[in-house]
Amino acid sequence: MVLAELGGKLRDSLRKLHTRSGRVTTTQLNSVLSDVARALIESDVSVKLVMTLRDNVKQKVERLIEEDDDDNDDDNDNDAKKEQRASNVSKMVQKAVVDELTSLLEPARKPHTMKRGKPNVILFVGLQGAGKTTTIAKYANYYQKRGWKTAMVCADTFRAGAFDQLKQNATKLRVPFYGSYTQADPVAIAEEGVDQFIKEHYEVIIVDTSGRHRQEAGLLEEMQEISAAVDPDNVILVMDATQGQSLYDQALAFSNAVDVGSVVITKLDGHAKGGGALSAVAATESPIVFLGSGEHFDDLEPFNAQSFVSKLLGLGDVRGLMEAMNGAGPDGKTHEELMEKMSKGEFTLRDMYSQFQRVMNMGPLNKVMGMVPGMPEYLVPKGGDDNSNTRLKKFLYMMDSMTDKELDGKVDFSDHDDAPIQSRIRRIAAGSGTHPKEVQMLLQVHKQFEGMVNKMGKSGMMGKQAQAQQQQMVAQMRKNPNFINQRLNQMDPKMLAQMGGREQVKQQMEAMA
């Protein structure tokens, strides 16, 4: 997603607010808001929406500035105070923009909640090529993995090959499907398929419909007929993010024809600027539920408005990163529990397994890196980093083939030449379909990690003490607005440069506070 550019432009215009007096005139504020509006339009947010957003932000900021001025009506402010006030104003504007964008993405209508043990009929609509069929496979995969009895119906009789595509995906996912090569009436197919799966007690019944190149009347009528026939619990509109400004009209046409309950935005992994997603929500007044970020079945991310806006503005997604890191690992251990163990210098193969799983659950490395604030776009690997993921997966397969004793550090693998150890390595390789040399590599990687954890544990860089220090720092940052600048002044400039420069480190610290 080409989003960071918008963040850069926004930050540049906010700098204009750093006036010498620390006070902001209406002209200055208007000029900044025009910049912000231009940047949003260039990022494909619809013009109408940007205008409303600009007015809302303006009203909010003017009110806040007034309150701030009432509190600080002393004209003889010293420079530090002026600097502080200017910085407050730019934070106010930034916060108002973030809040406005986030609330736009959180419409009053809540997403449909799936009901266990009942049929949930989900109708997918969208233009041809938006990514409907692919998204349906990802959606089925998502629910099936979470234990829902899932099935698919192909009511796309318009595009030759649509049924074959759905069938292929369904077979790969081992999801039952319904469709026909001979029946030309999509309404009849949809009705028959849904009826059959309801009788068979399926819980998530997904219906694929035809797309057209444009929102023609014929297509929209067909949607209405299918919708009337299957009476869906939710209609999901799939939209291609690369369509930019036209998404607003597209979304409006669909939501006028059928009761669109949720939106999925696809192809955000490519060159889409992302702003069109906001337009789609505004037009349908329905929430985005997932984002499509690639062509694989796993490339479907549950949507979170705050994280999306942070990324849209190039502020990074610290929240998403923290949530992903702090969630329980596959062994049920939380990040904190593991850190506590590591602070004692302990790190078994099972712990490494848990860490690798956690990284895998966070998605491919390029997505994880994309969450880091200020991470330059060129450093984020493009087009999926299949190599590193495949490597990690292989390591997991090897550890899956280990015994509890091996995983829990009760077997000493250090002597590779020892015959019983060699036999264990051969057994693990055979069990995981890998080569013994690869198992040795895994053991070597574990040794390195273990050594590192050991050193860090002894140095007190982990565990409760270090955590307490970090919490103290965050508390200071919140209490004293100058704390970050003071800290940065104390840091070695060379080290700052290595960490990406003062501005970048500052942003990261601000995001923590």
If the CB atoms of residues 126 and 364 are measured against ligand GTP, the closer one turns out to be: 126
**Min CB(383)–ligand GTP separation in Å:** 9
**Min CB(123)–ligand GTP separation in Å:** 14
If the CB atoms of residues 36 and 130 are measured against ligand GTP, the closer one turns out to be: 130
**Min CB(162)–ligand GTP separation in Å:** 5
Tokens (6 digits) for 311: 């990324």
User: Cα angle vertex 51, ends 87, 48, to 5°?
Assistant: 145
If the CB atoms of residues 158 and 397 are measured against ligand GTP, the closer one turns out to be: 158
Closest CB to ligand GTP belongs to which residue?
Answer: 211
User: Would you say 219 and 212 are in contact if contact means Cβ atoms under 8 Å apart?
Assistant: yes
If the CB atoms of residues 33 and 127 are measured against ligand GTP, the closer one turns out to be: 127
**Min CB(308)–ligand GTP separation in Å:** 15
What is the chain's length? 513
**Min CB(209)–ligand GTP separation in Å:** 8
If the CB atoms of residues 227 and 434 are measured against ligand GTP, the closer one turns out to be: 227
Q: Across-strand partners of 238?
A: 264
The SS3 assignment for 85 reads helix
If the CB atoms of residues 120 and 169 are measured against ligand GTP, the closer one turns out to be: 169
Tokens (6 digits) for 22: 């620390």
Q: Provide CB contacts within 8 A for 231, sequence distance 6+.
A: 121
The SS3 assignment for 483 reads helix
- What span, in angstroms and rounded, lies between the C-alpha atoms of 425 and 439? 6
- What span, in angstroms and rounded, lies between the C-alpha atoms of 509 and 513? 7
**Min CB(115)–ligand GTP separation in Å:** 27
- What span, in angstroms and rounded, lies between the C-alpha atoms of 428 and 443? 11
Residue 167 phi, psi dihedral angles, 5° rounding:
-60, -45
If the CB atoms of residues 102 and 242 are measured against ligand GTP, the closer one turns out to be: 242
If the CB atoms of residues 129 and 345 are measured against ligand GTP, the closer one turns out to be: 129
Closest C-alpha among 381, 376, 377, 338 to residue 357:
338
- Cα 228 to chain center, whole Å? 34
- What span, in angstroms and rounded, lies between the C-alpha atoms of 395 and 390? 9
- What span, in angstroms and rounded, lies between the C-alpha atoms of 432 and 321? 31
User: Would you say 209 and 236 are in contact if contact means Cβ atoms under 8 Å apart?
Assistant: no
**Min CB(163)–ligand GTP separation in Å:** 10
> Residue 42: CA atoms inside 13 Å, Cβ hemisphere, count?
16
**Min CB(238)–ligand GTP separation in Å:** 6
Residues lying near ligand GTP in the complex (CB under 6 A) are found at: 126, 128-134, 156, 159, 162, 211, 266-267, 269-270, 292-295, 299
